[in-house]
Structure 1
């Protein structure tokens, strides 16, 4: 797949903001009450449809996972079939409120995002545009300190928040929380498979470049060579005799013996649809995100489907 060289002419995030949809320094202290009030505003100003039904959709999304995305910032959202364009309502709460019961910090900035159900990239584009704000620890406090809707709109405008024309792999990747090095042993791989409860582990070299993957299937085939699979009588190996040799030599066996050099990977700036393409072509459940060869993140199939179809 050819990768576009740039993401030009993006839409600005402030294009979605209507001052009438902003609750500036609201005294509302309940998450549910605040979401309902924001929805009522959108309904009054734009006729978005059945408010109780949309409220239930927003609450249902909350049950899938917390929408507090950064320190003091929450983005409740839902995909709605009754709208044809995204809508964003904004609320600031100087005193803060508990958005989810276990929030580390009270939420002071809430962005309620509604996107058309048939536009799977819309929410992801909005989140990508807001990434700069999420990186600032003081963003929520700064926004909550503004006293007018005009000042709040300017807050978002000054951030230069532009919606990309398409979502990149880097926009949806997850961090790599475990990996092996090409100098590790078979024992290290077995220990990691057991500890992480995964079926595939990336392997990097001393420079952090992705060199291959180790799979649980490959490990099993080391323990169970092909000739054993043709045996009609398994009585000679009922006590896992083939595994004994692996256990005896696991510390002196290098990963190279079970390393796969073919795997699914995309560059960090490739369109996210390339992730679906490479996983479908390779029948893979994990796609690695790299810059040149350096491993930066990964995208599992369940994570990809959630981002595109449900998040």
Structure 2
């Protein structure tokens, strides 16, 4: 199915009057209400803005994909708006927000929503598409441009649809202190370890850091009367600039390709008790699948 088939001229606006993303969302939703009856305005807007509070839906590259999964609709609605001057909003890359794609979906079609989101993200990745959309003169012109891109919705959800792009990584020569700082800065529990060409060679997690501080933790558990002569973390901190990732990392790491089935990868992660899995292309890391991201994108939406 072509992405362009989801768009209707009445739900596209090439000259948004809004000056902020919030105003643009309301303006686009009102286009839906003008054509379709029986949708509760307040309920749906609350759902959209509740989702925005959880996570900003600005994708970068000048695009944003606000959305809501709601019982108020029984099929997918996509409303697109273009602002030539840009909208007030915080964006992840500092690029002005100029194109908004509002999606409304029933609660029970997360797969179709993710397929649509993936197709829209593909549209956004091509700078030529963005430039062409900003020059569009009419709603039908927008739809024709998207049709000419040839972008289609995939039949099956793949890893690329749910992975995080541009993951934070470390090389084996980085120090324990540097790793601890990265884990804290990005609020994450582990990092893929790569060589200088980007090949995945291992993983280092906060558990590895704790294990380095308490190498005899098994003995401590079996003999609760056992005490350390010195605080284990103090000893570790004394060497934080000397101990390297290569000394602490786990080398046995599973990686998957971008086109791997989400269902199969999720099953593998559950079976092997994995929290994160690197995604590779030509054996080089291009993304990261994290259990919490699956929950956020598939279940929460």
Global fold match (TM > 0.5):
yes
**1:151 to partner: Cα distance:** 1.3
Which residue of 2 is the match for residue 306 of structure 1?
296
Q: Give per-residue Cα distances to partners, 1:220-251, cap 9 Å, x unaligned.
A: 3344323344334345x242269748956984
Q: What is the CA deviation profile of residues 63-115 of structure 1, one whole-angstrom value per residue up to 9, with x for unaligned ones?
A: 12222223332222111223232111122233333245999444332221111
Q: Deviations over 1:253-277 (max 9, x none)?
A: 8835x44343343222102223321
> How far apart, in 1, do the equivalents of 2:207 and 2:297 lie?
28
Among candidates 109, 119, 125, match of residue 119 of structure 1: 109
Question: Cα offset for 1:20?
Answer: 1.6
Q: How does the TM-score come out when normalised to structure 1? A: 0.80
Structure 1 position 169, deviation (Å): 1.1
Structure 2 distance, partners of 1:230, 1:132, is 54
Q: For residues 132 and 68 of structure 1, what CA distance do their matches in structure 2 show?
A: 15
Mapped to 1, the partners of 2:240 and 2:292 lie a distance apart of 35
Partner residue in 1 for 2:12: 22
Q: 1:292 to 1:278 in 2, by over 3 A?
A: farther
* Aligned-residue RMSD, C-alpha: 3.1
Structure of greater Rg:
1
Q: Aligned pair in 2 of structure 1 residues 48, 285: CA closer, same or farther (>3 Å)? A: farther
Counterpart mapping for 1:191-270 below 5 A:
191-197=178-184, 198-205=188-195, 207-224=197-214, 225=216, 226-235=218-227, 237-240=228-231, 244=235, 251=242, 255=246, 258-270=248-260
Residues 50, 251 of structure 1: alpha-carbon distance in 2 compared, 3 angstrom cutoff: same
Given candidates 47, 54, 68, the residue that maps to 1:78 is: 68
User: Is residue 271 of structure 1 aligned with residue 261 of structure 2?
Assistant: yes
Runs (5+) with no aligned partner, structure 1: 1-10
1:180 to 171, 183, 205: 171
Aligned counterpart in structure 2 of residue 63 of structure 1, from 45, 53, 74:
53
Q: TM-score, normalised by structure 2?
A: 0.83
Q: 1:287 to 1:37 in 2, by over 3 A?
A: same
C-alpha change, 1:262 and 1:153, in structure 2 (3 Å) is same
Describe the shift of the 1:306–1:95 C-alpha distance in structure 2 as closer, same or farther (beyond 3 A). same
Is the Cα contact below 8 Å between 2:60 and 2:93 reproduced in 1?
no
Distance 2:116 2:97 in 1: 19
Q: 1:255/1:115 Cα in 2 relative to 1: closer, same or farther (>3 Å)?
A: same
Length, aligned pairs only:
295
SS in 2 for 1:203: strand
**Corresponding residue to 1:53 among 38, 43, 66:** 43
How far residue 285 of structure 1 moved from its aligned partner, in angstroms, is 1.4
